[in-house]
Amino acid sequence: MEWKDEGIVLAVRRHGESSAIAELLTATRGRSLGLVRGGRSRQMRPVLQPGNIVLATWRARLEEHLGNFALEPLELKAGLLIGEAMRLAALTTLTTEAQMLPEREPHPRLYAAMRVMLDALENEDTWPALLVRWEMGLLDELGFGLDLARCAATGTSDDLVYVSPKTGRAVSRAAGQGYHDRLLLLPAFLMGVEVKTPGLADVIDGLKLTGYFLDRHVFGPRGINAPESRHWIVAHLSAR
């Protein structure tokens, strides 16, 4: 069996003395793993870095086998981020969160969003808000999407400024009066409101919002913590 697809390197671990097992998020086949023979060679090490975009050819006798990857570099994104702490933290967060996706299940919209995020990492005014949107998409793809269409209490679609931590549904300003300290803030840029560049406070609120539900539905049930790089990003942005 054989297939070929574009993919983003998520993680690499050594296998034996000279090979490696690469984990990719591919455009049409989802999260996929394969053995890269000679993956620890001087030639392949720069290719097998998280965030790099490759053309992957996967071969195996049976579909359920681990299979072998032959990888060709397309865009070596990782090398452009060396020495840039915030960008590296964003890349680490992105690739770690993508590993939460089920194996071999296609998520083309999330893949496309990840490509946009990778392209935006050089612009610190842009990528934090895109990270929030990426995490919203991840929650949705995993079956835990937030319901932001209308107020959970009144049914109105106007002036939605909160999210219930219990239900993941939006709450209007009026309905949230008296309960605002128990609710999560809903930034306007997640509501389809046209905002050229979301403000820092809104981005932080967005990261707190997605972080809460990622911990509740994704990391917590697996008995793991959110990436330390993600905590570092929130702390760094909050200190500005």
130-181, pLDDT tens digit by residue? 999 999 999 999 999 999 999 999 999 999 999 999 999 999 999 999 898 9
Q: Which of 113, 76, 107 has its CA nearest to residue 94? A: 113
pLDDT confidence tier of residue 196, bands split at 50, 70 and 90: low
Please list the residues that pair with 160 across neighbouring strands. 172
Say if residue 127 is exposed, middle or buried (CB neighbours under 10 Å; 0-12, 13-18, 19+). buried
What is the predicted pLDDT for the residue at 65? 84
H helix runs in 6-107, sequence order: 85-98
The region, left, alpha or beta by phi > 0 then psi within -120 to 50, assigned to residue 151 is beta
CB 141 within 8 A of CB 122: no
Residues 6 or more apart whose Cβ sits within 8 Å of residue 115: 8, 53
CA 207 to mean position of chain CA atoms: 12
**Confidence bin at 214 (pLDDT 50/70/90):** very high
Average pLDDT value over all residues in the chain: 93
Residues 6+ apart with CB under 8 A from 144: 168, 213, 217, 218
Confidence of residue 60 (pLDDT cuts 50, 70, 90): confident
CA distance 204 to 122: 19
Please name the CATH architecture into which domain 2-79 falls.
Beta Barrel (2.40)
**Where in the chain are all domains bearing CATH 2.40.50.140?**
2-79
CA-CA distance, 20 to 221, in Å (whole number)? Answer: 29
pLDDT at 83 over 80: no
**pLDDT per residue as tens digits for the range 106-137:** 999 999 999 999 999 988 889 999 999 999 99
Looking at the chain, how many residues does it have? 240
Q: What pLDDT score was predicted for residue 193?
A: 59
Is-contact 132 203, C-beta < 8 A?
Answer: yes
